[in-house]
Structure 1
Amino acid sequence: MRTEIQNVADVIIEQLRLWGVKRIYGVIGDAIFGFMEGLSRHNDLEWIGVKHESVAAMMASAEAKLTGRIAVCAAQMGPGLTNLMTGLGDAYLDGVPVLAISGQAPTRKIGTAYKQYINQQELVQAITGFSRIVIHPDAVVDTLAQAMFKAVHQATPVHLSIPSDLWSLPCGTKPREPIQIAKPMAGRSQIQQAANMMLTAKRPVILAGNRARLASDAIKKLADRWGCGIVMSYGAKGIIADSHPYLAGGLGEGGNPYASDLCKQSDVVLAIGTSWWPEHHVPGHAQVIHIEERISVIGKVIPSQFGIVGNIAETVGALTACIADYRPDRNWLQVVNHCKQAWNDQNDSERAITSSPLHPAAIVSVIELTTDNDAIIALDEGDVTLWFLRSFKGTAHQLVLSERWRTMGFGLPAAMAAKCSYPNRQVVCVTGDGGLGMVQADLITAARYGLPISVIVFNNGTLQMEQDKMMMKHRRPFETDISNPKFVQIAEASGWAAKRAETNDELRIALDEAKSASKPYLIDVPTAKITHPDFQIQHEGSMNP
């Protein structure tokens, strides 16, 4: 650490480095010129300059979801900050640590009619857990440390406004290293109480979410001992391989349509690392045990009777040991097996549909064949997301998506952030034509920074989900058709390799080429306009085992 007096920009950069920050996503503006000058003197932090600030914030949110570390984005005051808000909203609702740094008017102009000046703290208060303006150089370290601590330990986005004249002023305080806090351990009495509830179960179910990813092996051992069905929360593919005998698939939107009946029959549900509790898909009278690592999540969405806060993998392992004498109900295991088999049969039929343009489920099946087992898959929002979640059979894949904010345009930024964070893993973006259209200027960003990601565009010229929902609500679809550019030409002009794939074979060949390409690769796939089954006015049959 340097011993000479440093300016504000240098101190902030040093503190970010001490907290494990690797890169900053953003767009340059005059209110952060001092920050940019500081970054030019440091090799420890990479600046990823994007075309639009919303992409910067979505990249930061995606990085935080994938790594668990605090991620950083930066922007100009005023309109730069307002553009960050889409990505900050995603980080806020999905509960991940993101630090947003924005410039602000010079201190002598704060509160005046200065250009672009607004009260930025009031602006972001609905989508951040902490927002402050720093008005003295010696307050920088305290405020930054407080913001970063809150972001990391309360899993929330935070924000700092730095006046433009503050960056170059000398700072009389030293950067502060992060405080290491041990994760809580659930007490023996808590574990035993939960185990006693589990021992009463005749029809047990595990509901697992994205926060349970590191507890995968422990969950499988518990499921074997408890003889339970496993259903996954929204977007939680790859935590448990689809081949697991007790895995019934996703619950609710984009999931196994038979899993709702299975879940509703359960008498004890163990919810692990999830806030997913979709109305009309969950039991009304089951006892619910909720395991989380943060107490703030317990009781927020899932109506649990018993909550356990602690390391998820260790807690699940302790519960498994406490139910060693449990004897699974064979009849219930038959129900679970029937649910899984019925869905596999139906899903295999969907995936085998041959049509021109290609059926969405068939596209997903080809993507599955050419994707590494540990690939990172970035999903955009829209109809394409539900088809992917419905049809993709995961192994150890890691999905990243806008789980609760549900913003279109998330796929491309998330894929770029994934490749920045994990350069040696395959990264695939699955997006619709509507979602890509919102962020397509940042195709140039992927080429500029040499990020060899694969982007598959489901192109049907329609905002399909909105059309389906309007029809489901007995409304006449209006303005749901969209105009698209020639995506292949746009991608090639942006420095990408690109192809249009109109058949399964053409798609498979293109995906194989993309996998080994040294630069980003876009595949434009003409896609059939198919109403997703979740939005059909009359759902076909349900499982009655």
Structure 2
Amino acid sequence: MSTTENSIRKRPVSRTAAEAILEQLDLYGVKRIYGVIGDAIFGLMDAIAKQTKIQFIAVKHESVAAMMASAEAKCTGALGVCAAQMGPGLANLINGLGDAYLDGVPVLAITGQAPLKKIGTSYKQYINQQELVQAITKYSQIVVHPDAVIDSLTKAIHTSLTMDTVSQLSIPADVFTMQTIVPSNEPITLTEMIPSMERLQQAQQFMRSAKCPMILVGNSVRPMDSKIQLLAERWGSGIVTGYGAIGIIPDHNPFNLGGLGEGGNPLLTNLFRQADVVLSIGASWWPEGHTPTNARIITVQDKQMELGNGMPMDCGIVGNIAEIISQLISGLESHDMNQNWIGQIRLCKQTWSIQNEREGNESGYPLHPSSIVRAIERCTSPNTIITLDEGDSTLWFMRNFRAQCEYVLLSSHWRTMGFGLPAALTAKLCMPNKHVVCITGDGGLAMVLADLLTAVRYQLQITVIVLNNGTLQMEQNKMVLKGLIPEGTELTNPDYIKLAEACGWDAYKIQSKDELEKRLKTRQVSQKPVLLDVPTAQVEYPNYQNS
């Protein structure tokens, strides 16, 4: 190649700042941007319309856009991106951004801002965006020149990916359409920490000394399920799942004791308190009142910042979790398991299995929540993605659902109502060949009803199961338990069948448990999204914590 040809190829290409943003996002593998259009992002929308690599998913409310970006990050481990108008657009994003922030997943929010000459004035919808999002971001910046877009965007992306957090960029409306010749940056390769041999040896020493061992797993260890099961067998340990980590270990595993705390195995707390060594793997939740007081705690995480996240710790190991588990397994080759402890694990599991089976066979109409969960369980295959809302429907699911390794997606720490439907929409976009089922209460669905239309717009064949009891059951029951009058807990619901059909869905009012199972088994016949309205008994959940 001649020098002239080489110089021509390296000549900087002029394009708008918005086009440069899309070019950079594409290099990081971004496929979708979720959002609602507004005049401050017209330049970005124009650039999206002129290319085909990144799809804009137009939703009905910015909160849904941010929840969908968070759900994509949870589904894929990659960067989720949302975009919105300045002022109220950004304010509406905050709920979903809070979910991503507290659940520790990488999300980038791009928001328009007032034109450059109006920054700091009384211009409509103007607010200091960096101050507004300070509590739920690790990086937030306003970009005031087109040549600063690439560097600011790269830093935002890098911050989100390396810290599993939320970043936000404010871009004045006129900057989007300004020209820049600054080239895109090559994606940064993320390096893994090498675990400390001293810490590994200390952990192995703790584990070999254990007489009553337990493993606590979080959502991040889903790909390591077989290794964790082998570790439990080698160590003679029970396996306990943190909040929402249901489905990582199949229920039929003899060491799997289910969930800990309010949404889990009610018999587990007494056994877990007896543990003398707890190995916490990828977990970020330690339910007060359900845990041992004198146990040695070993914590395994893939990032340094995730150590000391509110859980006690005697030994912390950071690095590739799968490799760390393999080394811990190798350190137990001649371990003498405590057969008495294994017997207690089996008794706890067997006793709860009998009780769980009985709960799932509850009869009557409206349907008991446990019987609804059992019907869903019988009609769900192991490769199904199940998205959960927040409220009683989630607690009953986590209590009674006997998982086969389904992928469960929920708002784990932020625990926002309305998460189920947006997460289901995203899951189907990310994994179109998977069956996606959303389990929600009538209160949670009511918050995001407009985005039933989003499923139709993008032809997303999901199934939504509405546990409809006409009340915010969790809030009502907890207020009563506290001796308070449950004001504001009764709901005024629409006719969900007519509403869903008006939006282009197939919808059915369920009259019995048998009909629910029939509809779940035949839902795949429909070419439309399907909504099942399930009249649900107002039953007090039996394991409410006093919180």
The separation in 2 between residues aligned to 1:168 and 1:506, in whole angstroms, is 55
The separation in 2 between residues aligned to 1:390 and 1:322, in whole angstroms, is 34
Whether 1:429 and 2:433 are equivalent positions in the alignment is no
The separation in 1 between residues aligned to 2:226 and 2:213, in whole angstroms, is 18
Which of 126, 141, 146 is residue 132 of structure 1 equivalent to? Answer: 141
Shift of 1:323: 1.5
The separation in 2 between residues aligned to 1:110 and 1:522, in whole angstroms, is 46
Which of 277, 285, 290 is residue 276 of structure 1 equivalent to? Answer: 285
Structure 1 residue ranges, 4+ long, deviating more than 6 angstroms after superposition? none
Aligned residue in 1 for 2:511: 502
Deviation string 1:206-233 (CA, Å, 9 cap, x unpaired) is: 0001011121111111101000011100
Which of 441, 459, 462 is residue 471 of structure 2 equivalent to? Answer: 462
| 8 Å CA contact retained: 2:285, 2:311 | yes
Which of 213, 220, 224 is residue 215 of structure 1 equivalent to? Answer: 224
The separation in 1 between residues aligned to 2:314 and 2:526, in whole angstroms, is 51
The code of the aligned residue for 1:419 comes to K
Q: Equivalent residue of 1:191, what SS?
A: helix
Whether 1:237 and 2:246 are equivalent positions in the alignment is yes
The code of the aligned residue for 1:449 comes to Y
Which of 33, 39, 43 is residue 42 of structure 2 equivalent to? Answer: 33
| 8 Å CA contact retained: 1:497, 1:521 | yes
Q: 1:536 to 1:281 in 2, by over 3 A?
A: closer
Shift of 1:3: 5.4
| 8 Å CA contact retained: 1:92, 1:128 | yes
Whether 1:343 and 2:352 are equivalent positions in the alignment is yes
The percent of aligned pairs where both chains have the same amino acid is 53
The separation in 2 between residues aligned to 1:376 and 1:299, in whole angstroms, is 31
Aligned residue in 1 for 2:339: 330
Deviation string 1:185-217 (CA, Å, 9 cap, x unpaired) is: 213332111100100100000000101112111
The code of the aligned residue for 1:527 comes to T
Whether 1:417 and 2:403 are equivalent positions in the alignment is no
Shift of 1:536: 8.3
Shift of 1:513: 2.4
Q: Equivalent residue of 1:138, what SS?
A: helix
Shift of 1:353: 0.6
| 8 Å CA contact retained: 1:293, 1:311 | yes
| 8 Å CA contact retained: 1:468, 1:536 | no
Deviates further, 73-82 or 507-516: 507-516
The separation in 2 between residues aligned to 1:440 and 1:512, in whole angstroms, is 25
Aligned residue in 1 for 2:384: 375
Deviates further, 65-74 or 176-185: 176-185
| 8 Å CA contact retained: 1:431, 1:456 | yes
Aligned residue in 2 for 1:160: 169
Whether 1:49 and 2:58 are equivalent positions in the alignment is yes
Deviates further, 209-218 or 158-167: 209-218
Which of 110, 114, 120 is residue 123 of structure 2 equivalent to? Answer: 114
Alignment size in residue pairs: 537
The separation in 2 between residues aligned to 1:27 and 1:536, in whole angstroms, is 38
The separation in 1 between residues aligned to 2:511 and 2:280, in whole angstroms, is 42
Aligned residue in 1 for 2:5: none
| 8 Å CA contact retained: 1:186, 1:310 | yes
Whether 1:365 and 2:381 are equivalent positions in the alignment is no
| 8 Å CA contact retained: 2:107, 2:160 | yes
| 8 Å CA contact retained: 1:225, 1:320 | yes
The code of the aligned residue for 2:442 comes to D
The separation in 1 between residues aligned to 2:265 and 2:118, in whole angstroms, is 57
Deviation string 1:93-125 (CA, Å, 9 cap, x unpaired) is: 000000000000000000001000000010000
Aligned residue in 2 for 1:305: 314
Deviates further, 434-443 or 478-487: 478-487
The code of the aligned residue for 2:431 comes to Y
| 8 Å CA contact retained: 2:389, 2:411 | yes
Whether 1:13 and 2:40 are equivalent positions in the alignment is no
The separation in 2 between residues aligned to 1:469 and 1:118, in whole angstroms, is 38
Q: Equivalent residue of 2:447, what SS?
A: helix
The separation in 1 between residues aligned to 2:307 and 2:244, in whole angstroms, is 20
Shift of 1:289: 0.1
Please, what TM-score do these two structures have when normalized by structure 1? 0.97
Deviation string 1:216-267 (CA, Å, 9 cap, x unpaired) is: 1111111010000111000101111010001100000210011111110000
| 8 Å CA contact retained: 2:195, 2:317 | yes
Unaligned 5+ segments in structure 2 are: 1-8
Aligned residue in 2 for 1:149: 158
Shift of 1:477: 1.9
The code of the aligned residue for 1:531 comes to E
RMSD: 1.1
The separation in 2 between residues aligned to 1:300 and 1:479, in whole angstroms, is 35
Q: Equivalent residue of 2:539, what SS?
A: coil
Aligned residue in 2 for 1:522: 531
Aligned residue in 2 for 1:75: 84
| 8 Å CA contact retained: 1:62, 1:400 | yes
Please, what TM-score do these two structures have when normalized by structure 2? 0.97
Q: Equivalent residue of 2:283, what SS?
A: coil
Aligned residue in 2 for 1:445: 454
The separation in 2 between residues aligned to 1:259 and 1:316, in whole angstroms, is 24
Shift of 1:535: 2.5
The separation in 2 between residues aligned to 1:342 and 1:223, in whole angstroms, is 20
Q: Equivalent residue of 1:528, what SS?
A: coil
Shift of 1:471: 1.3
Aligned residue in 2 for 1:541: none
The code of the aligned residue for 1:260 comes to T
The separation in 1 between residues aligned to 2:523 and 2:167, in whole angstroms, is 37
The separation in 1 between residues aligned to 2:187 and 2:442, in whole angstroms, is 42
Q: 1:35 to 1:256 in 2, by over 3 A?
A: same
| 8 Å CA contact retained: 2:262, 2:544 | no
| 8 Å CA contact retained: 1:472, 1:536 | no
Deviates further, 472-481 or 81-90: 472-481
The separation in 2 between residues aligned to 1:32 and 1:480, in whole angstroms, is 39
Shift of 1:500: 0.7
The separation in 1 between residues aligned to 2:427 and 2:138, in whole angstroms, is 25
Aligned residue in 2 for 1:88: 97
| 8 Å CA contact retained: 1:287, 1:305 | yes
| 8 Å CA contact retained: 2:137, 2:168 | yes
| 8 Å CA contact retained: 1:242, 1:394 | yes
Q: Equivalent residue of 2:527, what SS?
A: coil
| 8 Å CA contact retained: 2:369, 2:537 | yes
Match runs of 1:288-299 below 5 Å: 288-299=297-308
Which of 396, 404, 422 is residue 387 of structure 1 equivalent to? Answer: 396
| 8 Å CA contact retained: 1:377, 1:415 | yes
The separation in 2 between residues aligned to 1:502 and 1:384, in whole angstroms, is 18
The code of the aligned residue for 2:319 comes to G
Aligned residue in 1 for 2:3: none
